[in-house]
């Protein structure tokens, strides 16, 4: 399965929910959908990260593939950019760390110019909102449903940079 196939789960959900949420007048209820989008978005990010890293490991060597499958089964939401860059990608060597960092910096500049949004901030925000909702039972205080959807869409760029960086 390609890592982008995981995004379809949230993309389809957002397509279904967006018209419904637009009609909700109760801010309390609308805020619950914001948390729900954050949880599902980070879930598919996590699945995509696992897919990318495990596929890479398998392409290098069967033993590395077995190790990556085993290791990355336990990441459980630990996918912030700092962790991806500093921990996971570094397992595979400095060459991939530099490549990932370069790809993220380039894409960050491009998206800042074209959309006036930060892929790094969007990516980390959606993870923060997911954590608040899933682990603390708090709806994201500083995010609307539309902002959560937007952060998910823009944050996908980090996953794309990872995928590009982890090719042989």
- What confidence score (pLDDT) does residue 73 get? 85
Q: Strands, E, within the chain: which ranges?
A: none
pLDDT for 78-120, tens place per residue?
999 999 999 999 999 999 999 999 999 999 999 999 999 999 9
What average pLDDT does the chain have? 92
C-alpha to C-alpha distance for 23 and 7, rounded to whole angstroms: 25
- What confidence score (pLDDT) does residue 168 get? 74
C-alpha to C-alpha distance for 118 and 94, rounded to whole angstroms: 25
pTM summary value: 0.92
What is the average per-residue pLDDT within 3-15? 93
Q: Please, which pLDDT band fits residue 128 given cuts at 50, 70 and 90?
A: very high
C-alpha to C-alpha distance for 12 and 140, rounded to whole angstroms: 22
- What confidence score (pLDDT) does residue 125 get? 95
C-alpha to C-alpha distance for 92 and 86, rounded to whole angstroms: 11
Q: Is the pLDDT of residue 137 over 80?
A: no
Are residues 42 and 126 in contact, defined by beta-carbon separation less than 8 angstroms? yes
pLDDT for 36-65, tens place per residue?
999 999 999 999 999 999 999 999 999 988
- What confidence score (pLDDT) does residue 135 get? 81
pLDDT for 57-81, tens place per residue?
999 999 988 999 988 888 877 999 9
- What confidence score (pLDDT) does residue 79 get? 95
């Amino acid at each position: 399965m390609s890592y982008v196939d995981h995004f379809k789960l949230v993309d389809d959900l957002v397509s279904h929910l967006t018209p419904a949420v637009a009609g909700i007048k109760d801010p309390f209820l609308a805020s619950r959908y914001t948390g729900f989008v954050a949880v599902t978005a980070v879930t598919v990010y996590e699945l995509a990260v696992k897919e990318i890293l495990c596929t890479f490991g398998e392409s290098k060597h069967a033993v590395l593939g077995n190790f990556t499958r085993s290791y990355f089964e336990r990441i459980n939401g630990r996918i912030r950019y700092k962790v991806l860059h500093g921990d996971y990608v570094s397992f595979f060597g400095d060459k991939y760390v530099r490549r990932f960092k370069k790809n993220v910096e380039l894409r960050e500049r491009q998206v800042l110019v074209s959309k006036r949004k930060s892929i790094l901030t969007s990516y980390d925000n959606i993870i923060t909102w997911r954590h608040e909702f899933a682990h603390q039972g708090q709806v994201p205080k500083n995010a609307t449903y539309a902002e959560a959807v937007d952060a998910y869409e823009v944050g996908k760029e980090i996953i794309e940079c990872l995928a590009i960086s982890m090719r042989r």
